[in-house]
Chain A
Amino acid sequence: MVFIHATSAISVQAEQNQLQPVTFPCAINAPNYRDCISPANMRRMGNAVKMGVWSALEAGASTDEPIIVGSGMGCLKDSEKFLESLRGAPDIVSPTPFIQSTHNTASGQIALNLSNHQYNITHVQNGISFEVALMDGMLWINSGQSAVLVGGVDEKTPLLSEIGAALGLSQEQLDFFSEGAAFAKISKEVSECELVECEVFANREDAIAFAEGLNAHMMLVGNSGPMAHELPSFKGETLNFNDFCGLHMSNSAFALHMAFLILTQKTTKLGQPDSVCIFNQYLDRSFGVTYCRKH
């Protein structure tokens, strides 16, 4: 069995615990990164890396646990910065944005900050990056590892909105574009919140049937990609997690943070369900279903 012990998030939410729907567009509520990252380390970190490191530490990252990160797009800003520097084929370009552009920069920096020599990985499967990362983490716990840190991080850039607009997304959809990081410490030690299932699907009907079969008291549904397909409707109380964290490729990590806060009653205004199922839809291609319950 796998249990969630702590979660953390950087998001558009004004408060850490009392979650509420947000009007978009909305900027993230960035913490004071200097509280836990040294200025020397922070100098070169891009936004995604800062968010990832802060959120990982906040969730209780330690030296002796595997670190597993999901990120749909990686370090976009540094990728753009390095590309921009290549224009006109100059002889000399700065290596810093290239180093920082690697998709595993956040997971590597978390390990570096903690001198953590354990398993370190980054999953990059578009909108289900967090779910496949979480499955990897649950596999570690189920094969004897005592605790694992799992999270998701994605950043936005103006170019992303420019591409979205050029490809025909509505202003309302573009307003939802967001960013953030969310991490969870999962463990075999019992806590008040059990993480029962996490599965990914390449077929919509399979995903819906699996989610329905779980009979959760509350559904958190949302998109991790352009909202081109309607979300399925489920029986029982349903909240759209996009209303709470906006749209980015690893926002289902925030949804798990939300489920944990609801089940442990750290957020009190969203009901008192005994179980929560997260249904994450990426276009019509990939689906993630995650199920937690009170223990």
Chain B
Amino acid sequence: MGIVSSMGRGVDQHSNALANRQSGIKDVKRVGGLPHAYWGGELDQSVAEILATAGINNLPPNLSRSTALALSAIQDLMSSVNFSDGKGSGLINATSVGGMDTTEQEYLTDRDGWDYSSFLQHNLGQINDQILNYYDWNLYNTTLSTACSSAANALMLGARMIRSGKYDRIIVGGTDALSNFTMRGFESLMIYDRELCRPFDDTRTGLNLGEGAAYVLLESEESAAKSGNTPLAQLTGWANANDAFHATASSPDGKGAVLSMSQALACAGLKASDIDYINAHGTATPNNDLSESVAIQQVFDEVPPFSSTKGFTGHTLAAAGAIEAVFSVMSIRQGKIWPNLNFTTPLNETGLSPQTELMDCEVKNVLSNSFGFGGNNSTVIFSAL
């Protein structure tokens, strides 16, 4: 597993920050052209510094921030696994911001002075092209973009491709940088909280965005036996179902979320009561947290401990499902349930309270939700070996 976010770089830094309630959300400094102060999960490094910290040299200086974050997380992953390209190998990335940070830096300046080459980083698929170029990899690769559920869908596609037998080892994950575009976008929807975000709290008014990237190596059993990599957990369940209710909002009855959680449980061959921890999507928007809570109550007769880790990272959009996949596997490996920050009052409608203190217990199965614009609802389930 490889991970970078406003909380740090690598599994150990994230584990310590989660256990010690150290959020990465702070006053955003590096995004230009904003009209006022914003809270966000910002990594306090420039693109050059992100790459240098990861020991990556000799790349052009105009790389997008999402690309730099992706390379940093993949470099972290590569330091702990044996991975080779070629037949049977793949890379499935997820992003929604892509090179928007480089695009907007140029676009929002005086048009007469534009350096048009900045726009070459814009496309979402450019990140994979840069990764393949840096590692000199020749392999199947694609990029998925389904807004905030993108990385969960990358995990699901990777699992399906390995199960088909055509692929043995696929790196899956996602990356997204903070950008003026997305921060102002969520603010225009009136769901960017001017205070710290409060997932599952009755007083919540919206999210804080964050940035980061995370990747995991999915391998078949045969491939792991050959590569010598030590398996950390199993990806046992996955599902993607469309809410088909509204372009941006979730349905009040959480239909898509109920479908994705139920189908993922069926895929894993597990009962709802087998789940020890739900790493919720929990963006802290009024709509998501209510819809997700209602859906959880429909799927689980007895709701297991659940929390949203968005209070630590901010909502990292297309990277969220990957960052939370790493948190889910860490939960299983370390026997810990991560706290939900900034919670005081349960939702009036459901009365559900998330886990607010770090809890030590045996964790065998973790269910992780990621929901996005376009009615996209995805759930993945991780199980102990």
Contacts and interface: CB of A to CB of B under 8 A. Distances in A.
Contact of B181 (A82, A117, A118): A82
Interface string B291-324: 0000000000000000000000000000000000
A146 interface: no
Given A125-B142, A163-B116, A143 B157 contact: no
A144 B128 CA distance: 30
Given A118-B241, A285-B129, A108 B376 contact: yes
Contact of B247 (A74, A93, A105): A105
Contact of A136 (B143, B157, B259): B157
Contacts of B242: 67, 108, 111, 116-120
Interface string B249-289: 00000011001000000000000000000000000000000
Contacts of A82: 181, 185
A261 B47 CA distance: 48
B244 A95 contact: no
* Best-buried of A73, A102, A206 by chain B (most CB within 10 Å): A102
A32 interface: no
A99 interface: yes
B384 interface: no
A209 interface: no
A22 interface: no
Nearest to B85: A202
The interface size bin for chain A is: 35 or more
B374 A105 contact: yes
Given A82-B181, A120-B146, A129-B125, A111 B189 contact: no
Interface in B170-204: 180-181, 184-185, 188-189
Contacts of A269: none
B184 A120 contact: no
Given A99-B373, A104-B145, A83 B108 contact: yes
Given A74-B145, A95-B185, A206 B376 contact: no
Interface string B351-376: 00000000000000000000011111
The prevalent SS among residues of B at the interface is mixed
Interface in A198-257: 200-203, 206
Contacts of B28: none
A126 interface: yes
A121 B155 CA distance: 13
A108 B247 contact: yes
B144 A126 contact: no
B140 to A, nearest CB: 6
Given A103-B124, A111-B374, A121-B153, A200 B246 contact: no
Contacts of B376: 104, 108, 120
Nearest to A200: B140
A38 interface: no
* Best-buried of B119, B188, B241 by chain A (most CB within 10 Å): B188
A125 B128 contact: yes
A189 B259 CA distance: 27
B225 interface: no
A102 B96 contact: yes
Interface string A123-144: 1111011001001100100110
A80 B140 CA distance: 31
B15 interface: no
Interface string B94-126: 011000100110011000001011011001111
A47 interface: no
Given A117-B244, A117-B259, A86 B145 contact: no
Given A99-B248, A139-B160, A117 B243 contact: yes
B241 A117 contact: yes
A210 to B, nearest CB: 11
Given A74-B124, A163-B116, A93 B184 contact: yes
Interface stretch (B57-65, B131-139, B214-222): B131-139
Nearest to B115: A166
A115 interface: yes
B379 interface: no
Interface string A255-292: 00000000000000000000000000000011000000
A111 B375 contact: yes
B305 to A, nearest CB: 29
Contact of B139 (A72, A166, A202): A202
A108 to B, nearest CB: 2
A202 B259 CA distance: 36
A47 B142 CA distance: 25
10 contacts: A67-B242, A74-B145, A89-B33, A108-B374, A108-B375, A125-B142, A126-B125, A132-B142, A136-B157, A203-B138
Given A117-B255, A120-B146, 20 more contacts: A79-B181, A92-B188, A98-B181, A101-B185, A104-B376, A105-B373, A107-B146, A107-B374, A108-B247, A108-B375, A111-B374, A117-B244, A119-B242, A123-B144, A124-B144, A143-B164, A163-B116, A201-B138, A202-B138, A202-B141
